[in-house]
Structure 1
Amino acid sequence: MRRKPSVLFVCVHNAGRSQMAAGWLRHLSGDRIEVRSAGSEPADQINPVAIEAMREVGIDITGQTPARLTWDAVEASDAVVTMGCGDACPVFPGRRHEDWKLTDPAGQPLDVVRQVRDDIKARVMQLLASIEQHG
């Protein structure tokens, strides 16, 4: 049996963008992909506005906890998607890497976070299609 592909989403605080991206990928892929998320400087909790924006589309990310980015998590992932963490996010040769330029939802009103959420959904759908097509 072939191993499931794995994706790691990384942002600075692992409280907004990466958590929303992980929530979308879990929702859209079911159990076909192993989903991880982490931050270079993890926050104490997920951004409540990100939680609300995801709840509006039927995705519950309240059970997730911001986690520190580790080399092991990167090495164990087939694809790494970074979002605004610059040099704090390592890139490994042989790993698929994408850097998504997204507005940081921290401190933003719900209408801005909704736009970020929808942008992330479109990107996650493209990523999922690419993984399923190319592995």
Structure 2
Amino acid sequence: MTRVAFVCVQNAGRSQMATAFAKREREDRGLDIEILSGGTHPAEAVHDVVIEIMAEEGFDLSGHVPRAIADEELEACEYVATMGCSTLSLDGEIEVRDWDLDDPHGANPEEARAIREEVRERVESLFDEIEAERA
């Protein structure tokens, strides 16, 4: 099974958005992919603006709780996407991609929506790549 992880510092914004979009892509494409999400220093809650703008897309993140992610979890992944805020140094053959996304924390809804759209595009591209590799 292919494993994909989305990681940021707080696991309260970008990685939560990426995980939601990835789960939708997994279902829509019928792929057998394990999706992990976490932070290096998790916040206590998902950012309010993220809950608001993801609800517009049909995602309810209000009950999601940011969590820490261990190096061992990440080292079991084929793909690790960091959101532009991580200093991961993993061993092995893991491909770590830094998406260098702005942080939606403190952003107004319009700014957060722009970040959401960039996250969506990057997740879709990653899933296109995974599908192509499986073909």
TM-score, with structure 1 as normaliser:
0.90
Separation of aligned partners in 2, 1:108 and 1:67: 22
Give the Å deviation of 1:74.
0.5
User: What's 1:56 paired with?
Assistant: 56
Letter in 2 for 1:24: F
Matched residue SS, 1:86: coil
User: What's 2:47 paired with?
Assistant: 47
1:22-44: CA deviations, max 9, x gaps? Answer: 00000121162211111111000
User: What's 2:25 paired with?
Assistant: 28
Letter in 2 for 1:28: E
Identity of aligned residues (%): 37
- Counterparts in 2 of 1:48-127, with a 5 A limit? 48-87=48-87, 89-127=88-126
Letter in 2 for 1:11: C
Give the Å deviation of 1:78.
1.4
The Cα RMSD (Å) is 1.4
Contact 1:40-1:85 at 8 Å conserved across structures: no
Contact 2:4-2:34 at 8 Å conserved across structures: yes
| Compared CA separation, residues 56 and 69, structure 1 to 2 (3 A) | same
Unaligned runs of 5+ in 1: none
Letter in 2 for 1:46: V
Letter in 1 for 2:92: P
1:3-54: CA deviations, max 9, x gaps? Answer: 2x11100001000000000000001211622111111110000111101111
1:41-90: CA deviations, max 9, x gaps? Answer: 10000111101111101122233211112012112211100112332x23
Contact 1:15-1:42 at 8 Å conserved across structures: yes
Contact 1:53-1:113 at 8 Å conserved across structures: yes
Matched residue SS, 2:38: strand
| Compared CA separation, residues 77 and 62, structure 1 to 2 (3 A) | farther
